[in-house]
């Protein structure tokens, strides 16, 4: 019999790609999502790719009773992947309580419900934001790099979430956990059936860049060219979203099949390659043949100068590696934008 996984936040950007990979690896998926930052049509995209429509419950995971009821009505869940969270850094500064309430209540509810339903493991979406700006000797960052004070309430919720999981496991919880620290996920499924759907004016680089390339935005602002980096713009580790999704399947297998004695493990998910904003714009133009009008503006408050991953632990221990090239990943983001235009969405 197929094993069933709860994908909390499964209609979102990373959640939808992970649902596809889980289904293709032979898992059944139950999605719970309140659709606050996603769209029900994502289920159609998932079904077009895999031929399978995941079970779906529209529900706010802050509602513990509702979540319990959903799990009773959709029995047999063996593990959970928790994506559901608010994730806009700027908004979190303006509305910190929304972030603390959403991101912390949801995790506590899930952790409390897991033993009731005999779930064996949780994969948690964390972020490289927990490292802040690593000291130069700690670049590329390993999982042992110091955790720096968070620079936004969003970042703080990720740190607190990790601590909540650590304390719960330490107290003898009857399940395992794997925390995945994502670097910068970008791109879309190669079929262009699912991808990132930002609300309003995009805050993140790739959605803004592709919207500029297609003419929705006039020009991309590059936030700063006076950083201490080779071309002066910030450096990040951009990881293909399908590669990232696959790591969740490996992590879930690892817990359900008891491949490790550790009850809690942490992995960086990145490519190991740092790319500057200007390099990224150039690579996009070369890969797609489409120009991206851009100008240099001042630095964005709170930006980290440079951070990229040392992914060796994930490579060696999980046996997972980022495979896609940056060129193909950027092409997938562009194809997704073209598909949105075709459908009259954006
Ligand atoms: N950038 C621009 N112009 C833009 C947008 C971004 O130059 O219009 C630059 C930024 O200055 C940064 C890089 O592009 O150097 C990437 O910026 P993003 O906003 O795409 O992503 P961040 O690296 O700032 O990451 C943040 C959080 C992560 C979170 C991620 C996605 O730190 O924890 O956003 O929400 F996962």
Q: Tell me: the pLDDT tens digits for 254-283?
A: 999 999 999 999 999 999 999 999 999 999
Active site residue 154: yes
Q: Residue 344: pLDDT above 90?
A: no
CATH topology (fold) of 4-340: Rossmann fold (3.40.50)
Mean predicted confidence (pLDDT) in 73-96: 96
pTM of the model: 0.98
3-class secondary structure per residue, 266-306: EEEECCCCCEEHHHHHHHHHHHHCCCCCEEEECCCCCCCCE
Q: Tell me: the pLDDT tens digits for 128-165?
A: 999 999 999 999 999 999 999 998 999 999 999 999 99
Q: What is the pLDDT of residue 345?
A: 84
φ, ψ of residue 181 in degrees (nearest 5): -100, 105
Ligand 1 centroid from CA 36, angstroms:
21
Q: What is the pLDDT of residue 35?
A: 97
Rounded distance, CA 114 to CA 215, Å? 46
What is each CA distance from 19 to 4, 55, 256, in whole angstroms? 11, 11, 17
Q: What is the pLDDT of residue 61?
A: 98
Q: Tell me: the pLDDT tens digits for 296-340?
A: 999 998 899 999 999 999 999 999 999 999 999 999 999 999 999
Name which residue sits closest to atom 15 of ligand 1, judged by CA: 234
Ligand 1 centroid from CA 194, angstroms:
21
Mode of pairing for the β-strands spanning 28-33 and 275-276 = unpaired
List pocket residues of ligand 1, CB cut-off 6 Å.
Answer: 87, 89, 127, 129, 184, 203-205, 208, 220-223, 234, 236, 277, 300, 303
- Choose which residue among 303, 305, 308, 330 to substitute to test ligand 1 binding: the one with the highest number of ligand atoms within 8 A of its C-beta: 303
Percent of the chain with pLDDT over 70: 100
Q: What is the pLDDT of residue 346?
A: 74
Q: Out of 154, 208, 227, 238, which one is annotated catalytic?
A: 154
Rounded distance, CA 145 to CA 298, Å? 29
Upstream peptide bond of 168 is cis (omega within 30 degrees of 0):
no
- Choose which residue among 15, 151, 205 to substitute to test ligand 1 binding: the one with the highest number of ligand atoms within 8 A of its C-beta: 205
- Choose which residue among 15, 204, 276, 298 to substitute to test ligand 1 binding: the one with the highest number of ligand atoms within 8 A of its C-beta: 204
Ligand 1 centroid from CA 204, angstroms:
5
What is each CA distance from 285 to 90, 124, 280, in whole angstroms? 28, 34, 9
Name which residue sits closest to atom 12 of ligand 1, judged by CA: 234
Percent of the chain with pLDDT over 90: 97
Q: Tell me: the pLDDT tens digits for 16-53?
A: 999 999 999 999 999 999 999 999 999 999 999 999 99
Name which residue sits closest to atom 25 of ligand 1, judged by CA: 184
Name which residue sits closest to atom 6 of ligand 1, judged by CA: 205
Q: Which atom of ligand 1 is nearest to the CA of 223?
A: 7
Q: Which atom of ligand 1 is nearest to the CA of 206?
A: 20
The 10 Å Cβ neighbour count of residue 240 is 25
Q: Which atom of ligand 1 is nearest to the CA of 152?
A: 32
Q: What is the mean pLDDT of the chain?
A: 97
Q: Where are the domains of the chain?
A: 4-340
Q: Residue 1: pLDDT above 90?
A: no
Question: For 221, what's the count of Cα atoms within 13 Å in the CB-facing half-sphere?
Answer: 10
The 10 Å Cβ neighbour count of residue 37 is 18
Ligand 1 centroid from CA 233, angstroms:
12
């Amino acid at each position: 019999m197929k094993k069933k996984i709860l994908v909390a936040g499964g209609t979102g950007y990373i959640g939808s790609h992970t649902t596809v990979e889980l289904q293709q690896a032979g898992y059944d998926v139950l999605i719970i999502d309140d659709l606050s930052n996603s769209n029900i049509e994502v289920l159609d995209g998932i079904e077009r790719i895999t031929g399978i429509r995941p079970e779906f419950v529209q529900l706010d995971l802050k509602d513990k009773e509702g979540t319990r009821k959903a799990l009773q009505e959709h029995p047999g869940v063996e593990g959970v992947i928790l994506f559901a969270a608010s994730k806009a850094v700027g908004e979190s500064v303006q509305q910190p309580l929304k972030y603390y309430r959403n991101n912390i209540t949801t995790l506590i509810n899930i952790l409390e419900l897991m033993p009731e339903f005999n779930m064996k493991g949780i994969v948690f979406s964390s972020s490289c934001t927990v490292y802040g700006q690593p000291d130069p000797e700690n670049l590329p960052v390993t999982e042992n790099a110091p955790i720096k004070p968070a620079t936004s309430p969003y970042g703080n919720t990720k740190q607190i979430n990790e601590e909540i999981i650590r304390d719960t496991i330490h107290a003898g919880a009857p399940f395992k956990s794997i925390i995945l620290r994502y670097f910068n996920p970008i791109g879309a499924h190669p079929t262009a059936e699912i991808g990132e759907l930002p609300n309003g004016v995009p805050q993140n680089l790739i959605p803004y860049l592709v919207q500029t390339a297609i003419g929705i935005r006039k020009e991309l602002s590059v936030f700063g060219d006076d950083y201490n980096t080779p071309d002066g713009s910030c450096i990040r580790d951009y990881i293909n979203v399908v590669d990232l999704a696959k790591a969740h399947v490996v992590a879930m297998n690892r817990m359900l099949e008891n491949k490790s004695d550790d009850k809690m493990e942490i992995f960086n998910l990145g490519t190991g390659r740092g790319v500057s904003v200007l390099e990224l714009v150039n690579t996009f133009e070369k890969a797609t043949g489409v120009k991206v009008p851009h100008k240099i503006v001042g630095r964005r408050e709170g930006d980290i100068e440079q951070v990229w991953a040392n992914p060796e632990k994930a490579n060696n221990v999980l046996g997972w590696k980022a495979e896609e090239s940056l060129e193909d990943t950027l092409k997938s983001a562009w194809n997704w934008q073209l598909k949105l235009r075709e459908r009259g969405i954006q």
